[in-house]
Chains A and B, each alone.
Chain A
Amino acid sequence: MSARVYSMPMLSRTLPIARNAFREAVRDRVLYNLIIFALLLIAGAIFLGALSAGQEAKIIVDLGLSSILLFGVFIAIFVGVGLVYKEIERRTLYAILSKPVGRGEFLLGKYLGLCLTLLVNVLIMGVGLSLALVLVKRGFDPLVIRIWPAILLIYVELTILTGVALLFSSFSSPALSALLTFFVFTIGHFSADLKTLAQAMAGAPARWLFSGLYYLLPNLASYNIITPSAHGVLPDARPVILAIVYGLIYVCVLLAATTLIFRRRNLK
């Protein structure tokens, strides 16, 4: 399987970049956040039982899934905005681009590397959360399985956010990129309000503007199933599949736009 993959020219150039981006993230101690996550869960499991009147499992799921999202958002934003910038700053980008590697392939490699970092991060946190639930429930509970669709959707949301961070970092400074990505994350969770606002507008131009924003900005609210998951509610398969398909399409669009901008960027 891997021989066949490496026989494909583009992947053979992209995957080493991805692997390198992952190694770099690990070297930069990005995964240290797992320690904070573990401490948070242990503290939650020990103290919340006494404070929440028997609601410790729900609170641990809320706390755990929200932490997975929050840590993931921080990694996606702060590592994502530095992916290209650091390579330019350290001038390693020139060495890479002097080889037969296209700018698009470089970006794709970097993107996949960070997605791999996020995947490892999210998987370890998810397993940690499941173990915390086993501990709190003193054995297996269906909730241990039922949190995983929410974890999957959080991961898809993070891949979109990484794409957004990469897009902004392709033409602006890391600080501004981080700020803009955070705005997109915030507005992405307000998408239902954008639609309502568009419907409430009297003038046609304002209606088009808000409708346009609603359809153009990523609809991140559909990735939030943390609350029902904490009650052990399994989501219907259809919205989950639709959200994944939407995420894939949106990531393709973001990577294409990033490549388009980055190709035109004067690196001299």
Chain B
Amino acid sequence: MKKDYLLVLIILVGLSAAALVTHWSDAQPRNTAAQFAEEPLYLNGAAMKRLTLAFNGVASDWYWIRSLQYVGRKIVTFEDSHDGRFNLNDLSVLDLRALPALLRMSTTLDPQFMEPYYYGAVILPDIDPAAAISLLHQGIAANPNQWRLYQHLGYIYWQRRDYEKASEVYAAGARLPGAPLWMTAISARMKAEGGSRGAAREMYRHLREVSNDEAVKDMVAKQITRLDSLDERDLISDALREYGAVSGRCASSWREVASTLRARGLRSDSSGAPLDPTGTPYRLTKNGCEVDLDEKSAVPKS
């Protein structure tokens, strides 16, 4: 009986000591996790596929989850060191250098797994456009009937302002069974006016319609807000120019052009300052001759 108490005591003391050592070890100033996160993958996808035998599906899922956690961890680290401010439209600040390899591994292990292709198409262009294009080409080779892969590839070319190529890719995707009619329309629009705001708005609208990823939807919503704001700033600039032409000087306050802006359908606050799509007033710049976003505005700058 005495021996039992002693054993229980050893177990309890041992576990407490182990927990204390772990706690102490965690508190040490080192960043092994971050160091390992950036290490290149030792095996390529083809070798990994062989080694995983019949378990390549699970391995692919694991690399997919690891990709998401890798990006998530980078965002948390960035926000911790930048007062919680992170703009999803500028991923280059995150230094996601291991992401292309992780996504490629996931899709090589399971070439029919679509989410990593879609995710790569949205995230990678900011980091490594060539890797994004290569990933999408790999996806199309493995899934030649998936029109959404063509849509994403066209989107990447459009971002790179290669409207001719974007048009070709959309046209190729439009020929696939099940592809929506707008793929043909957007192909033509890319060719005719690829750089226009209207084309961009249409691209984002369709991207939002087909995406299941909340982060992508959020990014697209912000881009549409940016386009709305650009349209509004055009209207405001016109109003300011007209005011300047009539009065011979620039406006000293919003009150002077408030009625014109209201007549053009723009929302304004009590001081007459027009509001951007996120509800923040625009500010007058260059002595009242031009308009710009307020620094506090949530509208993306690019």
Binding site for B on A (CB under 8 A): 48, 51-55, 58-59, 61-63, 65-66, 69-70, 185-186, 189-190, 193, 220-221, 223-224, 226-228, 230-231, 233
Q: Which of B19-27, B51-59, B126-134, B291-299 contacts A (4 or more CB under 8 A)?
A: B51-59
- Please tell me if B259 contacts chain A, counting CB pairs below 8 Å: no
Contact, CB under 8 Å: A58 / B61:
yes
Determine whether the beta carbon of B54 is less than 8 Å from that of A55.
Answer: no
Tell me how many residues of B have a C-beta within 8 Å of chain A. 20
Interface membership of chain B positions 39-81, coded 1 if the CB is closer than 8 angstroms to chain A and 0 otherwise? 0000000000010011111101100110011000000000000
Q: Is the CB of B60 within 8 A of A227?
A: yes
Known: A55-B115, A228-B112. A62 touches B61 (CB 8 A): yes
Q: Which of A51, A62, A70 has its CB near the most chain B CB atoms (within 10 A)? A: A62
Contact of A230 with B53 in the complex, beta carbons under 8 Å: no
B residues in contact with A62, CB < 8 Å: 57-58, 60-61
Would you call A186 and B60 a contact (CB within 8 A)?
Answer: no
A91 to B68, CA, bound (A): 57
Interface residues of B in 152-195 (CB under 8 A from A): none
A selection of 12 A-B contacts at a CB cut-off of 8 Å is A48-B65, A51-B65, A52-B61, A53-B68, A55-B115, A61-B57, A66-B55, A189-B53, A221-B54, A226-B55, A226-B57, A227-B112
Complex CA gap A132/B273 in Å reads 56
Given A51-B69, A54-B213, CB of A227 within 8 Å of CB of B56? yes
Tell me, rounded to whole Å, the shortest Cβ–Cβ distance linking A72 to chain B. Answer: 11
Q: Which of the residues B54, B58, B64, B113 comes within 8 Å of A63, measured between beta carbons?
A: B58
Chain B residues in 8 Å Cβ range of A220:
54
Contact B115 A53 (CB under 8 A): yes
Contacts of B252 in A (CB 8 A): none
Contact with A along B190-216 (1 / 0, CB 8 A): 000000000000000000000011000
In the bound assembly, the distance between CA atoms of A230 and B106 in angstroms comes to: 14
> Is B212 a contact of A54 with CB atoms below 8 Å?
yes
B110 proximal to A (CB < 8 A): yes
Contact of B57 with A52 in the complex, beta carbons under 8 Å: no
A226's partner among B54, B113, B213 (CB-CB below 8 A) is B54
Q: Which residues of A have CB within 8 Å of B69? A: 51
